[in-house]
Structure 1
Amino acid sequence: MFGSLRERNYRYYASGQVVSLTGTWMQRAAQDWLVLELSGGSPAALGVAIALQFLPTLLFTLWAGGLADRFDKRRLLIATQTALGLCGVVLGLLDVTGLAVLWQVYVLCFVLGCFSAADAPIRQSFVVEMVGPAQLTNAVALNSMTFNLARIVGPALAGVMISATGTGWVFLLNGASSAAVVGGLLLMDPGALHRGAPAATQESGRLRAGLRYVRGRPELVVVLVLVFCVGTFGMNFENSFAVLARNEFDRGAAGYGLLITALAVGTLTGAALAARRSGRGRPRLRLVVLGALAFGLLEAVAALMPTYELFALALVPVGVAVMTFTTSANSTVQLAVEPGMRGRVMGLYMLLFLGGKPLGALVTGWLAELFGARMPLLLGALVSAGAAVVAALVLARRGVVRSGRLG
């Protein structure tokens, strides 16, 4: 179940990620709460903040994927992770000194999004260099376990800290936590990495070649479109949970943190199941489609729950389903492409997975403003389930679901 941890470089990386990601999830919860406090509880204002944070994904992710295929990914990650930590420190200093206003938070959301957009495809494509192709599926699953363990601990800690000290110290703590992952990257042995030959073409040529490569794989296009639909409309947890906790269920910051924690219990369980499945070989394509369909149906059920307690309980199976989908989709796409194209394809993957967040955040914020906090979750559920059905029909027609793999 933990085969990828036999790689020394990956152990350094995973250890740093546990600390850093906990800080990241603490900041996400605190940032959402700060925006609501500064805006008087406006869902639309929260939607704008989230849109600004994910807008740079549209601008920089493909470009960063090209960089990942050409330059040393480890050194690139040291730079991006350092910058992400500094963003937390700046926001924290503004907040604890009482100078923070809404427009400053918006600006820092955008700056943070720029570095995150550059970091994501580099980090995703670096995993295979640390562990090799044979352990990639296991490492992706363990990364998801780390991510979701932090998702459990981080928001819960943030809720307690916000109640005790305010949001500012949460941002400062997150800035300091970035030192853990940077330290792990510095301690790695570069000679033990499983590196391929860097791409030699010009930047524009690399990007065009990557897009042509994906366009020539229709089944891969179907999976990427499904990733876009689920990521944009279904996984709108950032703005939905804060608004539900504050406006629908009349809960404070701790109540909001517990909703994220309830979801994370499910996603951690889903990641653990994915790690166990990784020993059976490459992920099956039907698991990607079924995971998206189950996620949509379960999210619809959660959206209709009448009380805070029932809603929180319903989030656990939602988390299992969404992690089944994201882990299997990530591994399936990475293992289906050539090593020399992996950075660019994962750049496109992250662009579609996260790049639609600005659209999703604005739409869901508007829907919550007009029709109540439950409507964004219900719409996202219907879009996700519908996209899964369409993807299954297209793949079945091409005979891909029957074979079970993209390539």
Structure 2
Amino acid sequence: MALRQDFRTLMRNPSFVLFTLSSLASSLAYWMLRTTSGWHAWQLTHDTAWVGIVVAADMIPAMLVGPWAGQLADRLDLRRILMASTMASVVLMVSTAAMVGMGLASVWLLCAIMMTNGIIAGLSQPAHHAAVGAVTDRPQMGTAVSISSILFNVSRFIGPAISGIIIAGASIQASYGSVALVMVFSLLGLFLVRFRPTARMTGQKGIINGLAEAFHYIMASPACAPMFIIFASAALFLRPIGELLPELADLRLGGDARTLAQLSSAMGLGAIVAGLTNMVGGIRGVVRLSFVGTGIATLAGLGLGWSASTPVALIAAGFYGGAIAAGGVSIQTALQVTAPEAMRGRIMGLFGMTFRVAPALGAIGMGALASRLGLSQTFTLGCALMMAVLVVLSRQFATAKRGIIAE
């Protein structure tokens, strides 16, 4: 009953609906770009290490701009930050499509493009997370986060499929151009939405002190601390498996861009189910979802690494995508609901930095290892390390469950 009432309240809120539609377009463009750039890197080099480097080029800049981005989200107008970053993304994708069409594509140019995209995304991500609190009231925050997660993963299901069809039926250039077009729709939604005033960060705290304050808040929480450690570990040891799907599709399954799109879409479908699970379970279920979800993702990662056929790989990808999304949604919900309004930008900035930087570092390491040890052995190593973290933190499970209810 409470879930139904929250949903009705949110759907009657024009600002939330417009922001959600804009976010859906942005997420769709994100997953289209991930699939396009990953396949483009593989097509240019046929080297797993280079695919990992291109992924890192997109994600590592978040580590450099993240501390500033969190402060900006807590101090400046959220709508202006989001509109400026979206316009920059449109210009970048149009330029990329033009350069590919002129035959200027090289792996070094692709790295530079993805690094620029990473800077733009790194600057906007904390503002985007904080903006959820500016279009919805606190009682509906958990449901709003779950809806956002579901739609993010709906785009994860649809985006790769669209890119795979465009690449296979037209060209890489057309796929980059399509990303730009989708971002235009996101920009239109942001132009129409109106954010309510929120508490802003005051004082003259430096970047490091402001970030340290947010980190201390997370680690002092009996519930959020173990969940955040699990999330960060999964981002480093498990999520890179998803970044190396181009090699899995080609080398192990003998497929092409369509196979990559099918694997990515299977992951997205599983993640949609995870979002629905989180919505039904509510804030009380996020701790269990974090621990259990990550454990299932670990086993599914092993299944992906040793899959010998596309149907088996698709099943494993569905479980992997759903379970790893469950862990991410659980900590995001906990942080959004419990974070002080004037600190939400910095807290979600830390979440965003971890979400982008840890998989990038993991993709570099696992990509290099896969070139030497093989894809299956590398996936196994990452899953073993993640399982070790879960075993160590399992002793804090009961304390975390009590903590989330208290907070």
TM-score between the two structures when normalised by the length of structure 1: 0.92
After TM superposition, the structure 1 = structure 2 runs for residues 122-137 of structure 1, keeping only pairs within 5 Å, are 122-137=127-142
CA offsets 1:62-105 (integer angstroms, 9 cap, x no match)? 22111111111111111111112222112111112211111110
Query: For the residues of structure 1 that align with 2:203 and 2:340, how far apart are their CA atoms?
Result: 15
Partner of 1:222: 226
Partner of 1:348: 350
Query: For the residues of structure 1 that align with 2:276 and 2:107, how far apart are their CA atoms?
Result: 39
Partner of 2:171: 166
Indicate conservation of the 8 Å contact 2:270/2:318, yes or no. yes
Closer, same or farther: CA 352–183 of 1 in aligned 2, 3 Å: same
Closer, same or farther: CA 217–329 of 1 in aligned 2, 3 Å: closer
Partner of 2:388: 386
Q: Which moved more, 1:163-172 or 1:331-340?
A: 331-340
Query: For the residues of structure 1 that align with 2:362 and 2:262, how far apart are their CA atoms?
Result: 23
- 2:201 maps to 1:195: no
Say which SS state the counterpart of residue 199 (structure 1) adopts.
coil
Tell me which amino acid in the other structure corresponds to 1:38. L
Query: For the residues of structure 2 that align with 1:200 and 1:125, how far apart are their CA atoms?
Result: 19
Closer, same or farther: CA 406–183 of 1 in aligned 2, 3 Å: farther
After TM superposition, the structure 1 = structure 2 runs for residues 184-333 of structure 1, keeping only pairs within 5 Å, are 184-190=189-195, 193=196, 195-204=198-207, 205-217=209-221, 220-278=224-282, 281-333=283-335
Query: For the residues of structure 2 that align with 1:103 and 1:306, how far apart are their CA atoms?
Result: 33
Identity %: 22
- 2:157 maps to 1:155: no
Indicate conservation of the 8 Å contact 2:296/2:319, yes or no. no
Partner of 1:38: 44
Closer, same or farther: CA 150–171 of 1 in aligned 2, 3 Å: same
Tell me the number of residue pairs that the alignment of Structure 1 and Structure 2 aligns: 400
Query: For the residues of structure 2 that align with 1:241 and 1:43, how far apart are their CA atoms?
Result: 10
CA offsets 1:354-392 (integer angstroms, 9 cap, x no match)? 221232011110121112222343233223332222222
CA offsets 1:276-297 (integer angstroms, 9 cap, x no match)? 333xx55442332222222212
Indicate conservation of the 8 Å contact 2:59/2:356, yes or no. yes
Closer, same or farther: CA 161–406 of 1 in aligned 2, 3 Å: farther
Q: Which moved more, 1:139-148 or 1:283-292?
A: 283-292
Indicate conservation of the 8 Å contact 1:148/1:265, yes or no. yes
Indicate conservation of the 8 Å contact 2:62/2:356, yes or no. yes
Query: For the residues of structure 2 that align with 1:208 and 1:74, how far apart are their CA atoms?
Result: 26
Query: For the residues of structure 1 that align with 2:157 and 2:400, how far apart are their CA atoms?
Result: 36
Partner of 1:26: 32
The answer for unaligned runs of 5 or more in structure 2 is: none
Cα distance, 1:139 vs structure 2: 1.2
Partner of 1:5: 11
Indicate conservation of the 8 Å contact 2:97/2:177, yes or no. yes
Cα distance, 1:58 vs structure 2: 1.2
Indicate conservation of the 8 Å contact 1:10/1:130, yes or no. yes
CA offsets 1:264-318 (integer angstroms, 9 cap, x no match)? 111111112222333xx55442332222222212322332222121111222122
Query: For the residues of structure 1 that align with 2:286 and 2:50, how far apart are their CA atoms?
Result: 40
Tell me which amino acid in the other structure corresponds to 2:325. M
Query: For the residues of structure 1 that align with 2:378 and 2:124, how far apart are their CA atoms?
Result: 28
Query: For the residues of structure 2 that align with 1:174 and 1:284, how far apart are their CA atoms?
Result: 33
The answer for unaligned runs of 5 or more in structure 1 is: none
Partner of 2:123: 118
Closer, same or farther: CA 132–237 of 1 in aligned 2, 3 Å: farther
Cα distance, 1:194 vs structure 2: 5.5
After TM superposition, the structure 1 = structure 2 runs for residues 360-371 of structure 1, keeping only pairs within 5 Å, are 360-371=362-373
Closer, same or farther: CA 298–102 of 1 in aligned 2, 3 Å: closer
Indicate conservation of the 8 Å contact 1:125/1:342, yes or no. yes
Closer, same or farther: CA 119–201 of 1 in aligned 2, 3 Å: same
Say which SS state the counterpart of residue 131 (structure 1) adopts.
coil
Say which SS state the counterpart of residue 121 (structure 2) adopts.
helix
Tell me which amino acid in the other structure corresponds to 2:27. L
Query: For the residues of structure 1 that align with 2:376 and 2:134, how far apart are their CA atoms?
Result: 42
Query: For the residues of structure 2 that align with 1:282 and 1:130, how far apart are their CA atoms?
Result: 23
Indicate conservation of the 8 Å contact 2:26/2:186, yes or no. yes
Tell me which amino acid in the other structure corresponds to 1:30. T
Query: For the residues of structure 2 that align with 1:13 and 1:277, how far apart are their CA atoms?
Result: 24
Indicate conservation of the 8 Å contact 2:126/2:345, yes or no. yes
Closer, same or farther: CA 29–5 of 1 in aligned 2, 3 Å: same
TM-score between the two structures when normalised by the length of structure 2: 0.92
Say which SS state the counterpart of residue 160 (structure 2) adopts.
helix
Query: For the residues of structure 2 that align with 1:151 and 1:172, how far apart are their CA atoms?
Result: 18
Cα distance, 1:116 vs structure 2: 1.0
Closer, same or farther: CA 60–357 of 1 in aligned 2, 3 Å: same
Tell me which amino acid in the other structure corresponds to 1:401. K
Closer, same or farther: CA 113–218 of 1 in aligned 2, 3 Å: same
Say which SS state the counterpart of residue 104 (structure 2) adopts.
coil
Query: For the residues of structure 2 that align with 1:404 and 1:225, how far apart are their CA atoms?
Result: 15
Q: Where has structure 1 moved over 6 Å in runs of 4 or more?
A: none
Q: CA RMSD in A?
A: 2.0
Indicate conservation of the 8 Å contact 2:305/2:375, yes or no. no
Say which SS state the counterpart of residue 99 (structure 1) adopts.
coil
